[in-house]
Each structure stands twice: as C-alpha cells, then as structure tokens.
Structure 1
C-alpha cells in the first residue's frame, strides 16, 4: 500500500512538472543568465600576502626583568601602520601618489585603510594581506607594506623605550623630593615631640610620680619655713632695736644677749621642744633673774650707754634668710606644679601624637616603597632602551615575501553562478507550485473520487484541438531557443573567464 502511495505521489509530481514546466523555464533561464552576465561584470579583487616573523633574542630579552609585552607592541605597530602618515608613505613608495591631488590622496588613504589587514598566524608569525584591483597592484602594495612595517618597527620600539625611560626618570625625581620632604617632617616631629613618642608612656608616668613626690617634699618645706618666719616675726616684735647698757651690769647683760642670740640661731634649726632650745631658755631666764636680783638697791646714777640690740639684729638676719629660702621653695613649688601639668598634658596627648607619628611614618614608608619600585623600573627601562638602541631586542623579518597572485580572490564566479542557478530553479519551481495550487481543476479519477466521495463511472481523455497543438509546438520552439541562448551565454562567460585566467586579456 505504501509503495502504491509513493508511486502516486511521484506521478503527481511528474504531472505537475509536465504541466508547469514552461513556468519553471520562463523563470530559470532569464534569472540564471542574468546572474551569469552580472557576475561577469563584477569588479575583480586580487590579494597578496606576506608572512612576517617576530625574532626574539631571548638571552638578551631576559635582561629586562619586567619582560616585554609583545601583544601591546604588535597592537601599537598595527595602529601606527594604519595611520594616515604611514599610509601616505606606503603610497609614495609604491608610486601610487603620482599625479594625484590632495583629495585623491585622501581617497587613496581611505582605500588603503580598508584593503590592508593584519592577521595572526601563530605565536611569532603574522600575515600582512593587501587587496588590489589588479594582481600587480596587490603584489606591489603587499611588498611595500611589509618592508615599511619592518623599517617602522625599530623606530617604534626605540621611541617607546625612550619615552618610558624619560617618564620614569621624571616620576623618580618627583618621588625623591616627596621622600625627602616626608623624612624632614618625620625628623622635625620627633624633635618637637620627643617625650610624646610611642613607648614613652611609662617614662612620663614615672616622671610624673617622681615630680609629685618632690612637690610634696617642697610643700612640706614651704610650710616649715612659713612657720619659722611667723616665729621670727613674733620674736622680733618682743625685742627692742636698741638697748641701754650700764658699766656695772655690762658683762652680765652681754652674756644674756649672747645666749638669746644663740637661742634665736637654735630656733632656726630646731623646734622649741629640742633639749638645746629648752636649756638655752632656762639659762637665759636664770641670767635675767640674777641680773634683776643684783640690781636691787644699787645706785641708779651709774654710767650707761645705748647700743644696737644684737638679738634684734640676729633675728632680722634670720628672718631675711628664712624669707629668701621660703621664696626659693615657693618658686620650686610653682616649677614642680608646672612640670606636673606638662607631664599630664604629654601623657594625655601621647595617643594623638602617636597617631600623627604613625601617619607620617606610613607616608614615609609608602613614598619610600614607590621610590624603590621606580628605581627598579628605571633600571629596567634603561636596559630596555640600550637593547633597542643596539637592535638586540625583538625584530621583524619577512619570512615569506609577497607573490604575484594568479587568480582573483573576489568574486568567486563559479560559486555565485551556481548559487544563481539554484536560486532561479527554486524560484521557478515555487511559481510552478503556486500556479498548481491555484488551479482547482481535477486531473484524475482519484482526485474526483477523493473530493466528491463518489465513484467515477468513466473518464474522457484530454482531447487537444489544432490550435492547442500549435501553441504547444510554439512553446516548445521557444523553450529550445531559450535553452540554446542560455547555453551560449554560459559558454561565453566561461570562455571569457578562461581567457582571463590564462592571461590572454585582463
């Protein structure tokens, strides 16, 4: 059953082709012929290639600790080659700028920017490809571009090495000045905050405690001196500046005055409870009692004189000495109080000073690190510059020079003609199928039975009239003529193409 269905389908398809072949032919022959003729007039483009080798002198390149960025170098080289200046130089070397004005030269540069390309062919290989309207033009341009590329590469490397060295040297000078400034700031800060540096907390605290102890001792001394000053003032108030001395009582009076002077001197050193002080007081009291007893009933008209009281003078001298000592002790007390305040301020300001110190040290370290890094980079740049000047780095070499192309790279005429033929055949077939779908007439008994669901008793075969026969014969003649013309066109196109390829004409 399946075989019968397949046969019926094939019979249906063959019937469609038999009935609609004229539509297929009417589309196929003109379209395919037009494609063939159009392809013949398409402009041809030739391509020439040159293979460039990158030579790396590894023992010499290893002198550069930072290495060499080949990808960046090639990218820069390509961009330089595609610049207007280099393309004008290439056009001049290839004699393509002869007799051209500025506008024509700009058009030539734009054309070269589109026709010159670079392609990687491996780690150390890349290809220069140039397109031209003629084989000779592509060949000359490819050779010119490759030779100009080799010449330009050395200049680019030397220029880049010199620019890098100068830039790093300039940056190094800037950071040298910055490092010196940072070190000077650190030195000045240390000198100004010598007692506020990190690690001086314990020293300041111990000095503060010692100063407090010294202050307590001085304050005690001040109180003692103040008490002595008060005692001396009280004693001075009880003494007379001048005394009356008689001849009879002079020896006893002088003795008493001497003991009172000794008592005043002792009071400067000891307290009133001291044994020496108590003894002197007892002796003075006894001497005064004896003088009072011996003077009773004695004549009053004896000879006498007035003189300075030595006790008063001694007390005044002692008071002056005590006041001087008290002033000195008070000055020392004030100095110790000021020192305590200074130590407290320094102790409190140590964290802030430490923060500023660490910030300055960090600035010095960062600047020193950058400076050291720049020193290394400057040495690398110097080596690289020397390598490039001596042409001992990387170099380009034309490994495979450009060759004269024998056939055009574009257009691919056979492929385009084949695509045109297939497209014309498909378009004609589509039109034939569309015409068949729009035709609702029955072509066989099976179609009638399937459509009407009725059995067909009989079928009358198609009967052609003489006029229809004439039309069929005419269509056949036109088909033969069209086929012949189509074959002639194809033969002509093929002949011209073969003549071009053989070099008969271009």
Structure 2
C-alpha cells in the first residue's frame, strides 16, 4: 500500500487551525488547572500496638482483643461524623468550613484521610495515618488530633474495660457471698426444724429403737409373769384355801403333792396338748387331791387370815402390773415417736443433700469469683500503670517542607500531550468523514477518466481574511476564555480539587 505522505501533510496543513484550536483549548485548560489547583500538604503518623510488658504466665491480662480488630475499632471511632466535624472546625481545615454542611465536612475529611493497617504472622501490628490539607500546619494539626484521639480512646477503653471487669467480679463476689449466707441460713433452719430426724443421728436412733424394743419385750414378759402369778395365786387359794407364799412346813403332804402336780401340769401343758392322755391322767390326780386337800382345810379363822393375806398380795401384784403397763405405754409412745423420726429421715436426707449440694456449687462459684476478682484487680493495676497491651506513637506527625500535590509540570505536560493527540484525532476523524474529490487519483477512481490538469480552489483575499479572523477569534477564546471559565467554576461554583475528587470517586480512581 502506497501512502501519499505529501497529500496527508497538505491536509494537515489545511486543517492546522483545528489542531491549533484544540491544542490551545486543552493546553489552556491544563495550565489553568495547574495554576488554580491549590497546593496539598501531607502529614502522617505511625502507631504501633505494643504487647504486654508483664508475661501472661505471671498476670493474665483482663483486656484482650485481636490486634487488627482493635485497630478497626479505633478507626471506626475516629471516623465518626461528629468527631471529624469537630476536628475540621477546630483546625479550620477548609476555608469555608463554617458554611459547609456537616455532611460535606465529614465527607471532605474522610476523602483527605488515608489509613493503612498492617499485620501478619510474626509481624508487629501497625497503623499509618495520613491527612492532606491546604497547608502543612493544618495537615500536621489534624494528624496530631487523630493520634491524640486514638491514644486517649485506647487508654480510656483499656482502663474502662479493666475497671468494669473488676467491678463485675466484685459484684459477683458480693452476690455469691450473700447467696452463701442465705443458703447456710436455710440449712441451719432446716436442721433446727428437723433436729429429731437428721441423717447424722439415724444410727443412734436405730440403736435407741433396738434398746427400747428390748425393754418393751422385758416389760411385757414381766407383765405376763405377774398376771400368771396372780392367776396361780387365786387358783391355789380357791383350791387349797392357802396362798402361794405360805411356807410348805405348814402344809399337809397332800397339799405339797398337789402343788407339785400343778407345777408338773404347767410344764406338761407347755409341751403337750390338753387332750394328751398323760395330761388327762395328771388332771384327774390333781382333781382327786384337791378334794382331799379341801377336806383337810382348817376352820374359819385360818381361812379369813389367808384371804386377807391374799388380798394384800393381789393388791401388790396389781400395783406392779399397773406400773409395768404404764412403763409399757410410755415405751410404745417413745417407739412411735422414734419410728416417725426414722421414717422421716430419708426424705430429710434428700432435702438436706440438695441444700448441701447447692451450697457446695455456690461455694465453688464463690471461690472461682474470688480468684477472678484477684486476677481482675491485677489486670486493672496493669492498665493503670500502662504495663499491658497498648497503642503507642512511633512516628509523630510533622509539618511538611513542601506540598505533595499537584504536580503542576506533569499536569501541563499531560495537557499538552492530550491536546496534540486530540487535535490529530479530530483531523483524522474529519478526513475519514470527508468523501469529496480532492486529487486526480479520486477522479480516476470515481469516474474512470484521467485529467490533463487540475486547478485547486483559490480563495479571494476577503475569504482568506475572514478565515484568519475567525481562527484568531477562536484561538483567543481558547487561550483566554477557557482559563476564565475554569477560574469562575473554581471560585464561584466548587473548587477544582473537589470536582476532581468526585470524578475520581465516580470512576473508582484514587488521586
């Protein structure tokens, strides 16, 4: 493909005014922007999260948080709307800060602030804070306020956390102590109300029950013996007219034999049934001897004396029987009361075990709370003395020697380069869109004829003057008007840096 460079150069010269106008417009705009953009000064500070100076094995800290989480919390507190507005107005960060709305002030402060956090395995956790302001003093003052806020908030949060932890465990110890007192009072009240049926005395009461049961059996045997003695005495008197305590010396041989047979009958009845032949034979002998003994009884005087002695002895036996029965009744009542306490002991054991178990649980919680209170007191002391984990300032903010932006030379050079590229692009676009016949080759291609000679368009002097006047006017507008419009926008509408920041934010760029 053959390129007619002379033709394209001629076209460029013919459309040079477009190039000059576009180049002038873009260059003038870049020069105006470079001159009108205010200088930006940057100041920064470096913060470090220091570990505890006291080993955890000696005193475990009560204020614990992940390093990055701690810095994120601090950043969120720092970037609150109220705090940013207060710092901006206190340092007069913006010229029109008093007339700016709170939202505009907060957004502008956030836009001029850069915060970078860094951490990693085996690496220190740091926070780098930068602020860009209209002057070095303002930027340094804002970063200083940022750093002071972070340090104050860190100290206040650590101290408040340690104090609240200590206060919580102190309240917990007091609560558990009161709960222990109440539980001890409940146990004591229960033991007093059930003193007769406590599990601790069950063995003693069981032994006492066995002893009383033995005594009751003895007394019942005594009562039975006394009643049997009384019945035998009455039977002897009725059969012999004598009492059992009379001496055998005054008895006849038949009476002595009768007593022996009666004693033998009593022994046999304990072994044999009344229908046994031996028992019947013995009863017949006793009946015969009773008839003989009755015939041998003395006169009425002796009989009256025996009856009187019988009454005396029977009265004595009745007294002894009544006393024994009274003792038996008391023993029965005592056994009933004792049995009732024994029956109530298992239920009391369950209740008392539950109370003691609750008391043991509360005691365990109380001991743990006391230990944790001691640990919290040590942690609170560590925070007061600033021996625990804390944020420290490594690099203080300083007033910068010069602005960091804008780079005016780069802006002007970029504008000039953009003007050149845009001017050439416009000329190329106009040439692509132009389909008119301008050279002999076009005649040959379109009409198939070969011209002998071609005559170019010749402008009159007046056309040339008008063309040059229009070009000069456009060029004057580009050189003077564009900067004037940019200046007016910067002064009366919105600063250029704010406009650029919004455009960059819309495009997702970081200036």
Range that drifts further, 73-82 or 156-165: 73-82
Structure 1 residue aligned with 2:40 = 46
Q: How far apart, in 2, do the equivalents of 1:89 and 1:29 lie?
A: 44
Aligned with residue 341 of structure 1, among 340, 343, 346? 343
Structure-2 change in CA distance of 1:216 and 1:344 (3 Å): farther
> Does the 8 Å contact 1:51/1:399 carry over to 2?
yes
Cα distance per residue 1:277-318 (max 9 Å; x no partner): x9xx999989965651224xx776999566361342244234
Per-residue deviation, 1:404: 3.0
Match of 2:374 in 1: 375
5+ long unaligned stretches in structure 2: 119-123, 192-198, 272-278, 485-511
Aligned to 2:167: 170
Q: Contact 1:52–1:125 at 8 Å: present in 2 too?
A: yes
Q: SS where residue 309 of structure 1 aligns?
A: helix
Residues 191, 168 of structure 1: alpha-carbon distance in 2 compared, 3 angstrom cutoff:
same
CA contact (8 A) 2:40 2:133 kept: yes
Query: Which residue matches 2:26?
Result: 32
Quick one: distance in 1 between partners of 2:443 and 2:325? 150
Distance in 1 of aligned mates of 2:409 and 2:250: 155
Alpha-carbon distance change, 236 to 109 in structure 1, aligned in 2, over 3 angstroms: farther
Structure 1 distance, partners of 2:210, 2:319, is: 28
Contact 2:177 2:366 in 1 (8 A): no
Q: TM-score, normalised by structure 2?
A: 0.56
**Partner deviation per Cα, 1:337-383 (whole Å, 9 max, x = no partner):** 42452245457x47xx7666555544443453244223212212113
Secondary structure of 2:168 counterpart:
helix
Aligned to 2:400: 403
The corresponding residue for 1:504 is none
Task: Compute the TM-score of the two structures, normalised by the length of structure 1.
Answer: 0.57
Do the aligned partners of residues 239 and 434 (structure 1) sit closer, same or farther apart at CA in structure 2, a change above 3 Å counting? farther
Contact kept, 8 Å, 1:182 with 1:363, in 2: the verdict is yes
Residue 270 of structure 2 is matched in structure 1 by: 273
1:123-162 matches, cutoff 5 A:
123=124, 128-133=129-134, 138-145=135-142, 159-160=156-157, 162=159
The alignment of Structure 1 onto Structure 2 pairs a total of residues equal to 440
Distance in 2, Cα, partners of 1:415 & 1:155: 42
| Distance in 2 (alpha carbons) for counterparts of 1:236 and 1:471 | 180
Q: Distance in 2 between matches of 1:436 and 1:322?
A: 145
- Flag the 1:458–1:143 CA change in 2: closer, same or farther, 3 A: closer
CA RMSD in angstroms, aligned pairs only = 6.7
Given that 1:118 and 1:126 are in contact with CA atoms closer than 8 Å, whether structure 2 keeps it comes out as no
CA contact (8 A) 1:239 1:311 kept: no
The equivalent of 2:410 in structure 1 is 414
Residue in 1 that maps onto 2:507: none
Give secondary structure in 1 for the equivalent of 2:328: helix
Q: Do the aligned partners of residues 52 and 285 (structure 1) sit closer, same or farther apart at CA in structure 2, a change above 3 Å counting?
A: same
Aligned to 1:320: 322
User: Would the aligned equivalents of 2:24 and 2:475 in 1 still touch at CA under 8 Å?
Assistant: no
Aligned counterparts of 1:303 and 1:208: Cα–Cα separation in 2: 56
